Amino acid sequence: MNSEIASMIGKRLVIAVITLIIVSFAVFFATSMLPGDTATILLGQAATPDAVAGLRHAMHLDEPAVLRFLRWIAGLVTGDLGTSYANNMPISKLISARFVNTMKLAGITALISIPFALTLGITSAVLRGTLYDRVVTVLTIGVISVPEFMVASTAVLIFAVYLKWLPAISFVNEVHSLYDLLRMYAMPVVTLTFVVSAQIIRMTRAAVIETLSTPYVEMALLKGASRSRIVLRHALPNALGPIVNALALSLSYLIGGVIIIETIFNYPGIAKLMVDAVATRDLPLIQTCAVIFCAGYLILITIADIIAIISNPRLR
């Protein structure tokens, strides 16, 4: 790795850290401006002013916002995520089990959607202009045009209400066999796979088509190289950067999609925990969950940038 590549990677990492700090600042102050008083919500409308004031003091809500932000950031850096207002439990304990569930859902979706989407995207680019390519393109545009909550609601209506094949709610704790696992994860995973795969297919197809039209690929074709060799040895390695970026963008979109899917299917993940925390105005829990999602997005985008830099033959 030469100094130029190392410098570019270092700049990407610094930008990611600065972005995370800015996002943390925005998340903290945006949640602090939510309507309603946390102490009043927790104690109820019948609480006396002295009780509300005492609870606000105990939760440091009467301190300046800047001081509370600095204390919160210091806790995040040291691993102290704070205590939930609504449950009076450590946030790390609340998030740990939910984090595993969210990673399971995202991991299963990625394992299914990435090979499926790459196969369709590459074959569609190689068979450009054929009936197969047109069908894949039309279906991809159609799926992209439909929001994930519409896909999820339609899946519930068809498979849970009318056909009664699958449960409308994912009871993850009731999984005792492979059959139960498939039933519980079928609709959330299929819904997310539809949305994520469509983006990957479209961007992969565009990247491979652009690479196949370059002069060195045309020269390899004139020399008699087979189509499979051209795609695998010449096109794909040089299209790796755009494809990885497409994967990272789509998987980062998966982070936002998880929030909607977990809410619709009542899936016990971090996103559902954050939505429930909004209802109780549990600010520390909301802020921590939001930062986790933002950090996941930044990690994926940064990894994609680094891979794109390393795989760029001009820089090497």
Question: With the C-alpha atoms ordered 118, 123, 129, 133, is the resulting torsion angle positive or negative?
Answer: negative
Please, is 287 exposed, middle or buried when counting C-beta atoms within 10 Å of its C-beta (0-12, 13-18, 19+)? buried
> Quick one: pLDDT at residue 176?
67
> Quick one: pLDDT at residue 225?
66
State the average pLDDT over residues 268-277. 84
Cβ 13 vs Cβ 302: under 8 Å: yes
Residue with tokens 């100094």: 3
Does residue 41 carry a pLDDT above 80? no
Does residue 156 carry a pLDDT above 70? yes
> For the segment 129-145, what is each residue's pLDDT rounded down to a tens digit?
889 989 998 988 888 88
Residue 313 or residue 32, greater confidence? 32
Question: With the C-alpha atoms ordered 284, 290, 293, 296, is the resulting torsion angle positive or negative?
Answer: negative
CA distances from 169 to 42, 162, 165 (A): 28, 15, 12
Q: Which domains does the chain have, with CATH numbers?
A: 3-34+81-310 (1.10.3720.10)
What predicted TM-score, i.e. pTM, was given to this entire model? 0.77
> Quick one: pLDDT at residue 142?
84
Residue 60 or residue 74, greater confidence? 74
pLDDT band, very low/low/confident/very high, at 88 (cuts 50, 70, 90) = confident
pLDDT band, very low/low/confident/very high, at 203 (cuts 50, 70, 90) = confident
The rounded distance, in Å, linking the Cα atoms of 75 and 291 is: 13
Does residue 170 carry a pLDDT above 70? no
Does residue 249 carry a pLDDT above 80? no
> For the segment 287-297, what is each residue's pLDDT rounded down to a tens digit?
888 888 888 88
Alpha carbon dihedral 130, 132, 133, 135, in 10-degree steps, equals 120
pLDDT band, very low/low/confident/very high, at 83 (cuts 50, 70, 90) = confident
Going by C-alpha positions, the residue among 113, 41, 77 that lies closest to residue 281 is: 41
Does residue 153 carry a pLDDT above 70? yes
